[in-house]
Amino acid sequence: MKLLNFAVGNRTSFGAVIGDSIMDLKARLNTDITDVLSLLRYDDLVEEAQTLARRGAGDYRITEIKVLKPAGRTRYFCIGVNYPERNEEYKDGSERPKFPSLFIRTHASFSAHDEPIVRPLESDQLDYEGEIVLVIGRGGRRIPESGALEHVFGYSCANEGSVRDWLRHSKFNVTQGKNFDRSGSLGPWIVTADEVGSEPLRVITRVNGEVRQNDTSDRMMFPIPYLISYLSKFTTLEPGDVILSGTPSGSGARLDPPRYLQPGDVVEVEVSRVGTLRNTVIADAAEEN
């Protein structure tokens, strides 16, 4: 089942994608729940939504609605340097890390599918990072790797955009360069884990149609079950938590010469069996004045 948040007219809702149409699950379920992350906290409603989606038809054509971010005010755990060639791109002679690199992003740093991502006034080094996203459906602490995938509700796509020259404003701090408003994107929807299956996922990033990144989840240095287990060692994972699993080699900063995003560029992140996230880059409004 593909679940998304959407707006139609002045009304916001959440629904299921059925072909080229959208079923309005908020209306069909007659619930006060307003978004997908709230839905996944209620197993009975998720089951009812799945039944409706299997048997029913859409209420709106997908062209009639505006896609909103599939996740809002929640925790975004972001993993850095999680593919082998990505570690080698740093050319610092370091061995593969023993533990994942980790940072947090805010909800405001992401745009939705088909919304612009913004190159900020403060930098011309906005970069793309295509990533596989997982959404936690069942929380827990000290989750064993053997059962970690049972805690995944579904998967999505992200462009975990970075403002490169702001990543090293302090000795051990990447927070600023990872959290400029609307510098990344998330979406277009969440595909439930049962539909995605257990085979490796491929993530491909294109800029203006040119493939820049292309790799598969089975090559991660820290696989998804390990990431869930590792994170849950120091914090209790909660339903609705979002984990961005790291980007493959090929980001703009690592090309020779570097190729950063420019206003007008179109970035697409495709994750197999999940979908394609698309955004156009714009300059910060202040830059245009």
Give tens-digit pLDDT for 119-174.
999 999 999 999 999 999 999 999 999 999 999 999 999 999 999 999 988 887 89
CA triple 167-228-236, angle to 5 deg: 90
Q: What is the rounded distance in angstroms from the CA atom of residue 119 to the CA atom of residue 262?
A: 8
Number of alpha helices (DSSP H) and beta strands (DSSP E) in the chain: 7, 19
Residues 6+ apart with CB under 8 A from 85: 248, 249
Task: Write out the two tokens for 25.
Answer: 């699950």
Task: Write out the two tokens for 185.
Answer: 């994107």
Q: What is the rounded distance in angstroms from the CA atom of residue 112 to the CA atom of residue 66?
A: 9
Which of 33, 112, 107 lies closest to 65 in space, CA to CA? 112
Per-residue pLDDT of the chain (289 residues; tens, 9 = 90+): 999 999 999 999 999 999 999 999 999 999 999 999 999 999 999 999 999 999 889 999 999 999 999 999 999 999 999 998 765 665 566 678 899 999 999 999 999 999 999 999 999 999 999 999 999 999 999 999 999 999 999 999 999 999 999 998 888 789 999 999 999 999 999 999 999 999 999 999 999 999 999 999 999 999 999 999 999 999 999 999 999 999 999 999 999 999 999 999 999 999 999 999 999 999 998 765 5
Q: What are the structural domains of the chain?
A: 2-68 (no CATH), 76-288 (3.90.850.10)
Average pLDDT, rounded, for the chain: 94
What region, left, alpha or beta, does residue 32 occupy, with left being phi > 0 and alpha being psi -120 to 50 degrees?
A: alpha
In single-letter form, the type of residue at position 56 comes to: G
In single-letter form, the type of residue at position 152 comes to: V
In single-letter form, the type of residue at position 105 comes to: R
Neighbouring-strand partners of residue 275: 271
Place of tokens 């909103």: 68
CA triple 54-43-26, angle to 5 deg: 60
Task: Write out the two tokens for 163.
Answer: 């403002």
What is the number of other CB atoms lying within 10 angstroms of the CB of residue 44?
7
Contact 218, 206 (CB under 8 A): no
Q: What is the rounded distance in angstroms from the CA atom of residue 244 to the CA atom of residue 217?
A: 12
Q: What is the pTM of this model?
A: 0.94
